[in-house]
Structure 1
Amino acid sequence: MKANTSRLTAVRRAAQTSFTQMKHFTFAALVTLLLAGTNVTAQKDSTSTFHVGFIYPLSTNGKAAGEISNRFSFHFLSGYSKNETGFALAGLANIIRNNAEGVQVAGLINQVGGRASGAQIAGIGNYVRDTTRGIQVAGVYNLSGAVDNQVAGVFNHSKGNVRGVQVAGVGNRAVDVNSQIGGFINIARHVSGVQLSGFLNIAESSDYSIGVINLIKNGEKGLGAQLDETMTTTIVFRSGGRKLYSIIGVGYNKRPGGDQYLAMEGGLGANWKFGPMFRLKSEAVSRSLMKSFDDDGVQMVTLRLLPALKVADKLEFFAGPSFSFTYYDKDDDDFNFPFRPVWTREKGDRFNGLNFGWTAGLQVHF
């Protein structure tokens, strides 16, 4: 019994010793490979099928990594190379001196000193000094020369033209671009498609700009005063391109009984030109009439058709019919506005109705 136990213990010790020696051998072989193994081959040939490493110069291409082009690269932290022609993956960064083709994926940054084609995906940002044919996707920021498409969590910047679309959580900037979608701001010279932002669009030309404010050099910018069927006077700012524009307005209404209402509206409009002096403005707006900011008030979703006549160089008069869906809580608001609904539906304290109306006003363009 004791002899068997001794033999078993000896076998275990021998196995542990062999395993330890194998780990040391494997580690030594890997280090040797990283530091020197293929570096000799690399000196004979400036291309490599695989480039594997930890961080420069601890890789299979060693100190010569910046002079070697790779088909596939895999690095625990960061990789450094001359060109990448297939797939590059790094825990932190891919640093490519010249050009990149295929796909580059990095936990933080992809940096290309020349051109890129394919896809770049990074946790923080992608930077391409020259052009990018393909797409850049970043958690924070993309920067390139001319580029096909950019998607970023915060901001996209193209120093050239964008053939496709820029999409960003905060904003986009480009020279000439197809379409821009930004959470807050878009900036470009010429936009051939849609320019959509949560607040501000800036361009020399952009026919389809949608934002709270659109500063388009050859587009629509006008400040006007208008009156509607509820006898509410509203100051309205219209801004956008030659075809599509945004509407924001604030107004006031005092009823004969003494109630005072704050009016607000916002929406979109489209221009239909019929010569140098006449055009038709079609608008869809949401309007609110409130006694205070914490009051739900009266809500109206309105469609308007407004024939507009230019009566001076920068002054036009407009007037036309409207059609509204109106709803409000009867307990909160005594609705005593001029109102002739063509359809009503009351459910509990909720009132819903459809009615025809009108809008007329003047607008100064600048």
Structure 2
Amino acid sequence: MTRTHYISRYALAAGLLLSALLTNQSLFAQEHQRAHVGLVYPLSTNGTRAAQISNTVSLHAIAGVSAGEDGVAISGLSTIIKGNQSGAVISGLSNTISGDATGAQIAGLINTIGGNSKGIVVAGLINIAKAAKGAEIAGLVNIAKEQAGVQVSGLSNIARTSGIQVAGLANSAQQSSRFQVAGLVNSAGMANVQVAGLINIAKKVKGVQIAGLINIAEESNYPVGFLNFIKNGEKQIGATIDESGNAVLALRTGGKHTYGIIGAGYNVRMDNAPYVLEAGLGMHVRFSQLLRLHLEVSNTANTDFGNDAYYKSSFRPLLGIKLAKHLEIVAGPSFNYVNYSSDLDAYRPNTVYNFFGAQSTNSLFFGGMAGIHFTL
């Protein structure tokens, strides 16, 4: 083989190598496009390779597919991003992002983010993310498999840990939550503040629990609800009588500082409304191991479960003296407001002030209460 043949072969090999390098460089250069426009995959400017190419601007009449987005992506129905997204993605039905999402994700029905979201995620029905470090807003449900910053939904929020959860029905934070507001139920491992229309459930509460009916916790010093089942709290059953002859057996349950009251009884002085129902809230002020003050607000109804009824609201500071480990006597004054129909007998003969409505009588008067409490 002549020297000329060797030179020709080397030149051919070098040419092939250079051609391959230029081809690869051209391919890599196409991995990102400034604009991606189409109808539906693969009918777009990126064609069948759309899933391997990232874009700055994507516009699709029906649905778009890409490797990533770093600007704006808008689709009539659905946007599917195989990698990360930053900027804004807006779709009529759904956004599906396999990686992390930064910025805004807005969908008519559902957003699904395989990685972390940072920014705002808005969906008509459901938002799902590994972790939502910004805000999730959904008409139905928000789900963050790990942590969530702010979740707002019409029905339910679910996260392992959360900052703020606001739901029309229920919130759940398996590990911890700083602030929960729900129309029905809140549930958390550790909570700072819980506000629910019906029930709050937590293992440990650092702040306050406010429920329309029930608070449940292992540790909670400030539960505000009519029934509070606190493992390290206090439960008392007490028998009391007030200035109007209401003899009531009531359950007082709560934490170290606040408690709820719910009770029932009978009034021998009122033949027309002998049955008594009571619900209220209270706070303990401790002076010593044997002496404390109970500050209570209470609503009492005297009724015959028919047409006759008296409704009384009271504030009463009751002094409590502990006689034994499980026994306490209480007594103190009360300031009361009562409302009843004008055709009924007067609730109290002696009042501070009376004012009359079209068909009702309203009275202010002083009274008192005394009784005995048994700690359970």
Sort the TM-score into its range (normalised by shorter chain). 0.7 to 0.9
1:278-306 CA-to-partner distances (Å, cap 9, x unmatched) read 432222222221111x5361111211212
Residue aligning to 1:324: 336
Give yes or no for contact 1:208–1:243 (8 Å, CA) kept in 2: no
Tell me the percent identity. Answer: 30
TM-score (structure 1 length as normaliser): 0.78
Which of 256, 265, 278 is the matching residue for 1:242?
Answer: 256
Aligned to 1:199: 198
Question: Are residues 43 and 126 of structure 1, via their aligned partners in 2, closer, same or farther at CA, if it must alter by over 3 Å?
Answer: closer
Q: Does 1:341 align with 2:351?
A: yes
Alignment-derived partner of residue 153 in structure 2: 152
CA distance in structure 2 between the aligned counterparts of 1:184 and 1:146, rounded to whole angstroms: 22
Q: Is the 8 A contact 2:38 2:60 kept in 1?
A: no
Q: Distance in 2 between matches of 1:234 and 1:320?
A: 16
Q: CA RMSD in A?
A: 2.8
- CA distance, structure 1, for counterparts of residue 177 and residue 105 of structure 2: 24
What is the aligned counterpart of 1:38 among 46, 51, 64? 46
After TM superposition, list the pairs within 5 Å mapping 1:175-214 onto structure 2.
175-193=175-193, 195-206=194-205, 207-211=207-211, 212-214=213-215
Which of 275, 289, 299 is the matching residue for 1:286? 299
Work out the CA distance in 2 between the residues paired with 1:205 and 1:217.
6
Counterparts of 1:353 and 1:118 in 2: how far apart (Å)? 56
Report the structure, 1 or 2, having the larger strand content.
Answer: 2
Pair 259,329 (structure 1): closer, same or farther in 2 beyond 3 Å = closer
Cα distance, 1:93 vs. partner? 1.2
Q: Secondary structure at the match of 1:295?
A: coil
The CA distance in 2 between the partners of 1:125 and 1:137, in whole Å, is: 9
Confirm or deny that 1:51 pairs with 2:64.
no
CA contact (8 A) 1:248 1:267 kept: yes
> Counterpart amino acid of 1:346?
F
Q: Secondary structure at the match of 2:367?
A: strand
Name which of 260, 264, 275 aligns with 1:262. Answer: 275
Give the letter aligned to residue 121 of structure 1. Answer: V
Counterpart of 1:305 in structure 2 is 317
Tell me by how many angstroms 1:223 deviates: 4.2
Partners of 2:138 and 2:152 within 8 A in 1: yes
Gaps of 5+ in 2: 1-36, 221-232
Runs (5+) with no aligned partner, structure 1: 1-28
2:137 is aligned to: 137
Residues of 2 paired with 1:362 and 1:350: CA distance?
A: 34
CA distance in 2, matches of 1:289, 1:69: 68
CA distance in 1, matches of 2:283, 2:90: 48
Partner of 1:5: none
CA distance in 1, matches of 2:46, 2:262: 66
Indicate whether 1:107 and 2:91 are aligned.
Answer: no
CA-CA distance at 1:89 after TM superposition? 1.1
What one-letter code is carried by the residue in structure 1 that aligns with 2:59?
V
Q: Is the 8 A contact 1:223 1:235 kept in 2?
A: no
Higher-helix-fraction structure: 1
